[in-house]
Amino acid sequence: MLLRYLDLVQIDPVGWVSLLVVTVTGVVSAVTVHEAAHAWSALQLGDRTAALLGRVTLNPRAHLDPAGSVLFLVMGLGWGKPTPVNPANFKGNRETGMALVSFAGPVSNLLAAFVYAVPIRLGIFEWHQPFRYLPFSGGGLADAVGDVLAYAILFNVFLAVFNLLPLPPLDGFKVVLGILPRE
């Protein structure tokens, strides 16, 4: 992703750093919310595995995988630390529980995107289309906050939609396994 803008380093290094800052902020927010939601939902269903490892938190250090984070920034696809879940600890049906835990990640990303969009929709901050203009070029604090919110919205929606694809090891695959009949 940021490789596409590498020529910007020589042309406008400050612009490239601003792009890096909003991209990192957006990716970190999306991955953190996503993985924390998996951990929280597993805990609600009776599995304390992630909780015992300190993963029911919005602290990004608990959820970011170094290699996955770098690849996310460089190529646009990466990953966070997978949240450990033991379906044997769930109250009730294990397959349904696993589907709910898997679904919690993408749903949390969509909820986060909605929350980030509210101040823009209310006109408190302006919408600046991500990757169309250099972030922080408006000059004011309100413009900078609008840029950060726009990138956070983008990456949260992207992570939700991508993870709902019914392909292993994505969340969508586990959701489909939990709702379709075994046959």
* Phi (first) and psi of residue 64, to 5 degrees: -90, 135
Q: At a CB cut-off of 8 Å and minimum separation 6, what does 119 contact?
A: 125, 145, 149
For residues 115 and 90, give the distance between their C-alpha atoms in angstroms, rounded to a whole number. Answer: 30
Q: Which residues are catalytic?
A: 35
- In terms of DSSP H, where are the helices of the chain? 8-11, 13-44, 49-52, 66-75, 94-121, 141-163, 171-179
